[in-house]
Amino acid sequence: MSNQVKYLLDENDIPKEWYNIMADFKNPPIPPLHPGTMQPVGPDDLGPLFPMELIMQEVSTERYIEIPDALRDIYRQWRPSPLYRARRLEQALDTPAKIYYKYEGVSPAGSHKPNTALAQAFYNKKEGVKRLTTETGAGQWGSSLALAGAFFGLEVEVFMVKVSFEQKPYRKAFMESFGATCHASPSNLTEAGKAILAESPDNSGSLGIAISEAVERAVQRDDTKYALGSVLNHVLMHQTVIGQEAIKQMEMADDYPDIVVGCTGGGSNFSGIAFPFLGEKLRGGKDIEIVAVEPANCPSLTKGRYAYDFGDTGKMTPLVKMHTLGAGFIPPANHAGGLRYHGMAPLVSQVVHEGYVRPTSYHQTECFAAGVTFGKAEGILPAPEANHAVKGAIEEALKCKRDGVEKTILFNLCGHGNFDMAAYQNYASGLLTDDDYNDQELAMALAGLPKVA
Amino acid sequence: MSNQVKYLLDENDIPKEWYNIMADFKNPPIPPLHPGTMQPVGPDDLGPLFPMELIMQEVSTERYIEIPDALRDIYRQWRPSPLYRARRLEQALDTPAKIYYKYEGVSPAGSHKPNTALAQAFYNKKEGVKRLTTETGAGQWGSSLALAGAFFGLEVEVFMVKVSFEQKPYRKAFMESFGATCHASPSNLTEAGKAILAESPDNSGSLGIAISEAVERAVQRDDTKYALGSVLNHVLMHQTVIGQEAIKQMEMADDYPDIVVGCTGGGSNFSGIAFPFLGEKLRGGKDIEIVAVEPANCPSLTKGRYAYDFGDTGKMTPLVKMHTLGAGFIPPANHAGGLRYHGMAPLVSQVVHEGYVRPTSYHQTECFAAGVTFGKAEGILPAPEANHAVKGAIEEALKCKRDGVEKTILFNLCGHGNFDMAAYQNYASGLLTDDDYNDQELAMALAGLPKVA
């Protein structure tokens, strides 16, 4: 029996800077538009929602942005996170491929999300904010912001997509243990929520709706700002600690990936692992393949349109150029709640559009099967979202076996599945289904995309 | 805001030997007795249950027993585990005490149990065993043995105490994801289970009953052995990697505990942290205090009798000299399922009896309150069992505050509470109660203790 090989960095190897991929783009990033004027959004437009330091990070084109020491001190609780060579998985698959995974489940909330939650709480606290509102899908983001709120003494109010709220009651208990409040979305607490409930009282919610509610609550109070767990440039940038560490760890292993795999919902964990490697490629480094794996029933990259769209259902956010299924698209109920978003981060969309990233999609039951195979070999049951990355990596490894080639595959295991055992239970009992989206509903949502010149 | 300080050892610092406290005992350990002959048990008597290498460890009085390299290789997935200085907790309590905790929740099963599960699976595999049976309370042990079974290709059959089986369905899903089978105990699969169900069909189970069932299944088949997650000498010894690492980590911190705190059910995580320190004390080292914290409604150390008793309800196991509430004692339903055992490890009982360890007990709601205080400060919600250690450590820290003394407190955080959010939810909703045991039932169970000369 082979075992994993663990590559552990020293605390001094926690990155001192975040990496900003915009600095290495051949084409400039495409600006967001103000929903009223349809003109590019300036920093001041974002003032009611975010503290100024995060806004400056959002629009920066500097390649590196310093991570405050006080924040690196907090990261030290679990960073640098381990990188493993999955020898037992390789053996189980009988593949000539070498499989590595970066494991973000060691964070106190069990996923990569605290990397940005703590950063956002840090800057909000610094600017005197008292209260943060946010949305959450599966609950990983809400849990992470609740934790950050407890550390920094900020109140946190979370709007959780109703279908996940009902599937995962323990996530609410987790957030509340850290002192946060958590509402099922759509709720009766906001105009956006009320409007949707009036139209469809049984609405199961979506990230787009929850964002509308959280944004509405934030703009109502001066001492309150909004925090987003993915999609935005600064959020993706905070996650680049993952890939920067992985580059050093691959050096320790005296190896370099041929293929980097991540799962995509809003795009944050994917960017975290992929952008530092893609940056090296853009600056003339090795011509690696990068694979983004999304759920087949919420396929923004593989079936969406690359167009300007709203980030939320209530059309309160700026418009961004992204791969989108339309802000009105409600994905089928799906345990990989963190991947149920109608759009995709503009930066991820742009690198997909420009051909640097290959998008692919899988159904959830085949992803759970991959997760169980991984778990038996490596001892970790992944979060349902992470199962998509596992599936993507296993497919690449099996292709290596068919082709008889030894490639090096690296994927991001963005979180553990400890809070998702109900889904594993359903999977084991054959109760998990692959509900597809409705073609007609998708066509309607796409037809509703805003007309932008 | 202060942050934790993390003390991380190198992989080469994973202990190369287990520590056997029997070598340092002033008085010899008290031998187990055969239930038929009432004579001391010899190695051969244990042959049907355990592989010979584990039996030799059980009776060894060597101070150190080598850890096989192949096993250290597996430990490397998460060992050495981190030791933290809980500065944020100290600040929250406003105590002059210094609080350190060793964190065993980083293991793939989320607790200290894999330290011995993997060791036991290793030796069973080596001797050609195909199948292991075991009992589990809260599910941490069953999960860990399931994991070990997956790693070593052994079938695993788990009897889970019914009350926990019903409270924690996700533990079953976890075990089954690793390929194990899991039954609620008492079950109809064994004579021991059938006898109890015939008498009390609604019996909520106990570790003592589940042990009877697992032992019965193991002796029925030649290719099957039994594995126990606590109580036995060799199991406690496997856990001493915890305390041995902690000694090195306290050196890194240039500190040494005045007080070591652990929670006790069967005694394994407590021994893991405490025995290496107690060994130093017995060999003339610093005269530290050692505190064992047990649940007030299953108080073997504080209210039990130090006497020979059976390890199981069905009276199939050898008799051991221990603090016991009587093998017939059924503790009230209690979320800290891992601490619901009528007895206590003989080695722990002996050091308590000889005055080296101070036992104490707390009710579960005050332990949950301590866990939430800890979680908000340190970012980790402990397992309900571990909350007892947290409570014990916080009480010592508050005593330091009252007395105005700066002591160094070290406790073992033996597992995270990710699988116990239902209990946290109940605690937050005020639904968690402190059901006490029935005095009359305890008196009856004690009256039923076997008469041994």
Closest Cβ opposite residue B173 in set A73, A376, A425: A425
> Is residue B431 within 8 angstroms of chain A, CB to CB?
no
Contact of A75 with chain B, judged by CB distance below 8 Å, is answered with no
The nearest CA of chain A is from the CA of B179 a distance in Å of 8
Q: Which of B84, B173, B424 sits opposite A177 (nearest CB)?
A: B424
HSE on the CB side for B195, CA within 13 Å?
A: 11
Low-confidence residues in chain B, pLDDT < 70: 1, 334-338, 453
Which residue on chain B is closest to A3 by alpha carbon? B74
Tokens of A298: 């919420």
pLDDT confidence of residue B273: 98
Q: Does A147 touch chain B (CB under 8 A)?
A: yes
* Digit-coded pLDDT (tens) for A398-419: 999 999 999 999 999 999 999 8
Q: How many alpha carbons lie under 13 Å from residue B118 in its C-beta half-sphere?
A: 27
Nearest to A173 among B151, B378, B421 (CB): B421
Which candidate, B127, B19, B132, B128, places its Cα nearest to that of B67? B19
- Which of A7, A12, A73, A77 should one mutate to test binding to chain B, selecting the residue with the greatest count of B CBs within 10 A? A77
Average pLDDT across chain A, whole number? 94
Q: How far is A388 from chain B (nearest CA, A)?
A: 17
pLDDT band at A60 (very low <50, low <70, confident <90, very high): very high
Reply yes or no on whether the pLDDT at A1 is more than 90: no
How confident is the model over A134-145, as a mean pLDDT? 93
Contact B100, B83 (CB under 8 A): yes
How confident is the model at residue A422, as a pLDDT?
Answer: 87
CB burial class (10 A; 0-12, 13-18, 19+) of residue A8?
Answer: middle
- Tell me, yes or no, if B252 comes closer than 8 A to chain A by beta carbon: no
Cα B429 from Cα B431, distance rounded (Å): 5
Residues 376-405 on B with a CB inside 8 Å of A are 376-381
Q: Would the pLDDT of A337 be above 80?
A: no
Contact B389, B262 (CB under 8 A): yes
User: Across the interface, which of B11, B106, B109 has its CB nearest the CB of A106?
Assistant: B106
Six-digit token string for B440: 């009359």
| CB spacing of A76 vs B6 below 8 angstroms | yes
CB contact under 8 A, A178 and B376: yes
| B3 against A40, higher pLDDT | A40
- Amino acid letter at B343? G
CB contact under 8 A, A6 and B77: yes
Q: What is the pLDDT of residues A344-360, one digit of tens each?
A: 999 999 999 999 999 99
Q: Percent of chain A beyond pLDDT 90?
A: 86
What ipTM does this complex have? Answer: 0.93
What does the angle CA A348 – CA A81 – CA B100 come to, to the nearest 5 degrees? 140
Task: Count other Cβ atoms within 10 Å, centred on residue B123.
Answer: 22
Rounded to the nearest angstrom, the minimum Cα separation between A150 and chain B is 6
Task: From B359, B338, B336, B345, select the one nearest B311 (Cα to Cα).
Answer: B345
How far off is chain A from B49, nearest CA to CA, in Å?
25
**CA-CA distance, A290 to A298, in Å (whole number)?**
20
Spatial separation of the C-alpha atoms in residues B58 and B41, rounded to whole Å: 11
Domain ranges in chain B?
A: 6-13+68-110+235-436, 112-233
Contact A177 B375 (CB under 8 A): yes
Contact across the interface for A425 and B380, Cβ inside 8 Å: no
CATH class entry, domain B112-233: alpha beta
Q: In this structure, which topology does domain B6-13+68-110+235-436 adopt according to CATH?
A: Rossmann fold (3.40.50)
- Read off the pLDDT of residues B193-244 as tens digits, 9 standing for 90 and up: 999 999 999 998 888 899 999 999 999 999 999 999 999 999 999 999 999 9
Size of the A and B interface in Cβ pairs below 8 Å = 112
Angle between helices A384-403 and A364-378 (to 10 degrees): 80
Distance in Å, alpha carbon of B167 to nearest chain A alpha carbon: 13
Identify from B182, B418, B420, B426 which residue to disrupt to test chain A contact, counting A C-beta atoms within 10 A and taking the largest count.
Answer: B418
Chain A touched by B2 (CB under 8 Å): no
Decide if A91 touches B, using CB distance below 8 A.
Answer: no
Count the Cβ atoms, other than its own, within 10 Å of residue B252.
Answer: 13
Do B425 and A381 make contact, defined as CB atoms within 8 angstroms? no
Which pLDDT score is estimated for A3?
A: 83
CA A397 to chain CA centroid, nearest Å: 24
Residue of chain B minimizing CA distance to A88: B151
B376: nearest CB among A88, A150, A169: A150
Contact A229/A147 with Cβ under 8 angstroms? no
Q: Is A111 within 8 Å of A105 (Cβ atoms)?
A: yes
Express each pLDDT in A230-284 by its tens digit: 999 999 999 999 999 999 999 999 999 999 999 999 999 999 999 999 999 999 9
At residue B314, φ and ψ (nearest 5 deg) are: -80, 0
d(CA B213, CA B161): 11
Is residue A341 within 8 Å of residue A300, measured between CB atoms?
A: yes
- Whether B91 contacts chain A with CB within 8 A: no
Q: What is the dihedral of CA A119, A121, A122, A127, to 10 degrees?
A: 130
pLDDT of residue A338: 67
**Residue A414 CA to its chain's centroid (Å):** 9
pLDDT of residue A168: 81
In percent, the amount of chain B with pLDDT more than 90 equals 86
Q: Do A379 and B169 touch (CB under 8 A)?
A: no
Nearest CA to CA, how far is A427 from chain B (Å)? 10
Contact B381 A151 (CB under 8 A): no
For residues A200-216, b (16+ Cβ closer than 10 Å) or e, as one string? Answer: eeebbbbbbbbbbbbbb
Q: Do domains B6-13+68-110+235-436 and B112-233 have the same CATH topology?
A: yes
With a cut of 70, say whether residue A49 has pLDDT above it: yes
Task: Give the minimum alpha-carbon distance from A285 to chain B in angstroms, rounded to a whole number.
Answer: 31
B147 vs A contacts (CB less than 8 Å): 379
Q: Which of B170, B372, B380 sits opposite A421 (nearest CB)?
A: B170
Q: Do B424 and A173 touch (CB under 8 A)?
A: yes
DSSP string, B345-398: -HHHHHHHHTTSSEEEEE-HHHHHHHHHHHHHHHS-PBPHHHHHHHHHHHHHHH
Q: In terms of CA atoms, which chain A residue is nearest residue B106?
A: A106
pLDDT tens-place string over residues B367-424: 999 999 999 999 999 999 999 999 999 999 999 999 999 999 999 999 999 988 988 9
Best A9, A177, A424 residue to mutate vs chain B (most B CBs within 10 Å): A177
Q: Mind telling me how many Å the CA of A235 is from chain B's nearest CA?
A: 21
Task: Identify all chain B residues contacting A147, using CB atoms and an 8 Å cutoff.
Answer: 379
Q: Where are the beta strands (DSSP E) in A111-191?
A: 131-136, 155-161, 181-185
